[in-house]
A and B are shown apart, each in its own frame.
Chain A
């Protein structure tokens, strides 16, 4: 079954404690992306990756890091989480077959609370 898998689904942590949210896709997609979703602000892109070792900032990259060492994995790293990073996070992937047809498949989401 084609899917994007995020772990953990729920996480409560404390300010400053480094954490990693994993994302893995089994569709051999080149493109992967991380979003955060906050009430009234919608989905905002954090980082994206066009392929292995190719990453770039989205709209809200501050406080986050990513890496793309393998095509299937795109972890999101919070080196020193702060309460304003409490949010619902989604990973997405896409096959870039045609430039204009970037249809993204989303993971189930990770609800993060930073105390």
Chain B
């Protein structure tokens, strides 16, 4: 079982819709979780971090964490074509020295 799992997609949504990206993790000891956005051929860019159960909002982005269910999600409101990218979920693993990444979900936002 992979430590961090994501559906590879693609997830297709129309412009203006809400995109919902999901991630599960296996290590109950993980305390910190991150969402990175990666455009094709580019480096990952951190967009959200979350450490506590519940929701964390930042502009059009909302990260949700449920430690009991070992589940992390990212909601993107009012999706734009420029949001089309691969979204990587990452969890802190084996102490803070390591980030464990999922394989990413490709999001396509159509005009």
Contact = CB atoms under 8 A, between A and B. Distances in A.
B25 interface: no
B51 A100 contact: yes
B98 interface: yes
A16 to B, nearest CB: 28
Interface string B43-76: 1111001010000000000000000000000000
B103 A103 contact: no
A40 B45 CA distance: 19
Contacts of B98: 45, 48, 58
Interface in B27-46: 31-32, 34, 41-46
Interface of B: 8, 31-32, 34, 41-46, 49, 51, 88, 90, 92, 95-99, 101-104
Interface in A46-79: 48, 50, 56, 58
14 contacts: A40-B103, A41-B103, A42-B104, A43-B90, A43-B101, A48-B97, A50-B97, A56-B97, A58-B98, A100-B32, A102-B92, A102-B96, A108-B42, A109-B41
Contact of A103 (B41, B46, B88, B97): B46
B99 A104 contact: yes
B32 A101 contact: yes
B44 A43 contact: yes
Interface of A: 31, 33, 35, 40-45, 48, 50, 56, 58, 90, 96, 99-109
B97 A31 contact: yes
Contact of B44 (A31, A45, A100, A106): A106
Contacts of B34: 103
